[in-house]
Amino acid sequence: MAHTVRPPVPADAEAMARVHVDTWLETYRGIMPDDLLDAPDLLDRRQRMWTQILAGDPERGLSRTARPEARHLYVLYAYRSMHGTGVGQDLLDAVIDPTVTTALWVADPNPRAQAFYSKNGFVADGTVKTDEYDGVREVRMVRPARA
């Protein structure tokens, strides 16, 4: 299946919410609470989130604290049927500047995603947290800037 990667526009919010929710259902059953995944308003909440993000200032969400990263990757999801097609790599390459230190949080356990990020130079820095929203244990991974 061919794919195209392009910057999102506000009209994409509904489709992005659908991918977000569908991939959560594919990936996080047994990791996230069932009541969260089965909530009848989950799709609506994700659509509102994406609508706000796409309508807002992209710099607004970047951390200004004294952390070691200059950028933070928040969301990168692909349907299971797209795994191995290169779509994840293309998405990552489209949003990550290799000359900028970048961090992310990845669900644990999620060995496929952790291996993907490791392959792309991200290393677990030993920081672990439990997400307040969904109760998922997450591991922080950082990719240092490359010259």
* Cis preceding linkage at 109, omega within 30: yes
The total of structural domains in the chain comes to: 1
pTM, two decimals, is 0.87
Is 94 inside a domain boundary?
A: yes
Is 1 inside a domain boundary?
A: no
Asked if residue 68 lies in contact with residue 101, where contact means CB atoms within 8 angstroms, the answer is yes
Task: Report the alpha-carbon distance of residue 36 to residue 24 in Å, rounded.
Answer: 10
Is 97 inside a domain boundary?
A: yes
How would you classify residue 84: left for phi > 0, otherwise alpha for psi between -120 and 50, otherwise beta? left
* 46-101 pLDDT per residue, tens: 999 999 999 985 554 544 444 666 889 999 999 999 999 999 999 999 999 999 99
Comparing C-alpha atoms, which of 73, 145, 63, 53 is closest to residue 113?
73
Domain of residue 61 covers 10-143
Q: End-to-end CA distance of the chain, in Å?
A: 34
Please report the pLDDT score of residue 57 as a whole number: 55
Is 3 inside a domain boundary?
A: no
Is 5 inside a domain boundary?
A: no
Kindly give, in sequence order, each residue whose CB lies less than 8 Å from that of residue 51, ignoring residues fewer than 6 positions away.
10, 13
User: For the chain, percent helix, then strand, then coil, each to nearest 5?
Assistant: 40, 20, 40
Q: Which CATH number characterizes residue 94's domain?
A: 3.40.630.30
